[in-house]
């Protein structure tokens, strides 16, 4: 549970907390806990026909994260429950006025449960100062499909990320064992933005993770071919014990989203024997 005392008190800064719980009842999953503080919430859950997952759209009406803001999302998926979380639009990290902003996600998934974390991209404006972190704790036997995409600057508007600093952290734990831990720091105008061994002048990075007992099984060639058709030269795959990881480094948020959504649909069907049911909000 989040510590509300850590949330900023200044009226010029947004403090937002959303806590969700998902429970399996009969043949469907319901939201059995919802608590929010500030402008971070959900309206209602959806149960698309033919999909066992409970679809939830995380809403942040301000649309952006400004200097000193703190957004915290926590979700617990119970045993046997199926939860799909996404958002209707990108998150924008605005230019800082001197204080660092924070956005964090913390998820726990019980044995037999499944979480799908499929947000839109995060766009870091030039001059943004922010920390973005995600941690997923999986009990043995829990499943996960999730991706995150970060766009540094606004390439479509001709704005490079030439000042500011963004740090990211992604942690996936299975029981007490770390499955994937990654940390990155992007300083505007630094060598990391342009060196060939880092971003090479490209503005968009992303990571997709799929965890489950049926992951692997010779699927890498199929997945590489799939993403090579959508985003040639911009994606890669690797295999961990019981997990698959894909990475994107390129110039297009649209291609990154298209590639990861196609991979999600393929993995959902192949690894979990669950036909993909695309969130309605993706069509808007």
Query: Does a structural domain hold residue 42?
Result: yes
Assess if residue 155 is contained within a domain. Answer: yes
- Positions of E strands within 49-191: 54-57, 64-65, 70-77, 82-86, 91-93, 101-109, 114-118, 122-124, 129-138, 143-152, 165-174, 177-187
Of 87, 50, 28, the closest CA to residue 274 belongs to 50
Q: What is this structure's pTM?
A: 0.93
> Which single residue is written with the structure tokens 């924008």?
92
Report which of 118, 135, 207 is spatially closest to residue 170, judged by C-alpha positions: 135
What is the rounded distance in angstroms from the CA atom of residue 216 to the CA atom of residue 26? 30
Distance separating the N- and C-terminal Cα atoms of the chain? 33
- pLDDT of res. 13: 65
Classify residue 282: in a domain, yes or no.
no
Structural domain boundaries, residue 31: 14-272
**280 is a domain residue:** no
For residue 2, being part of any structural domain is answered with no
Query: For residue 6, is it within any domain?
Result: no
Give the mean pLDDT per block of 10 residues along the chain (284 residues): 45 80 95 94 90 94 88 97 95 94 97 97 97 97 97 93 97 95 95 91 97 79 93 94 94 97 94 90 80
- Count: domains in the chain: 1
Q: Is residue 4 part of a domain?
A: no
Q: Does 5 reside within a domain?
A: no
């Amino acid at each position: 549970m989040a510590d509300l005392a850590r949330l900023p008190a200044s009226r010029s800064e947004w403090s937002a907390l959303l806590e969700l719980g998902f429970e399996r009842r009969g043949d469907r999953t319901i939201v059995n806990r919802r608590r929010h503080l500030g402008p971070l919430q959900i309206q209602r859950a959806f149960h698309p026909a033919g999909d066992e997952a409970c679809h939830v759209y995380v809403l942040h009406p301000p649309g952006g994260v400004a200097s000193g803001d703190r957004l915290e999302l926590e979700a617990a998926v119970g045993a046997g429950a199926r939860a799909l979380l996404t958002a209707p639009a990108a998150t924008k990290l605005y230019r800082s006025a001197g204080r660092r902003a924070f956005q964090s996600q913390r998820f726990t998934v019980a044995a037999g449960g499944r979480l799908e974390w499929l947000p839109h991209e995060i766009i870091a404006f030039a001059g943004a100062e922010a920390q973005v972190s995600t941690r997923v704790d999986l009990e043995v036997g829990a499943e996960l499909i999730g991706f995150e995409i970060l766009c540094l600057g606004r390439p479509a508007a001709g704005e490079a990320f030439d000042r500011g600093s963004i740090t990211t952290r992604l942690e996936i734990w299975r029981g007490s064992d770390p499955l994937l831990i990654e940390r990155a720091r992007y300083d505007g105008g630094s060598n990391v933005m342009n060196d060939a061994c880092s971003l090479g002048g490209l503005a968009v990075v992303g990571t997709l993770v799929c965890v489950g007992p049926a992951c692997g099984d010779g699927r890498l060639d199929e997945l590489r071919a799939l993403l090579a058709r959508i985003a040639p030269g911009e994606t890669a795959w690797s295999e961990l014990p019981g997990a698959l990881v894909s990475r994107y480094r390129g110039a297009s948020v649209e291609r990154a989203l298209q590639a990861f959504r196609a991979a999600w649909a393929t993995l959902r069907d192949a690894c979990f024997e669950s036909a993909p049911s695309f969130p309605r909000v993706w069509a808007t």
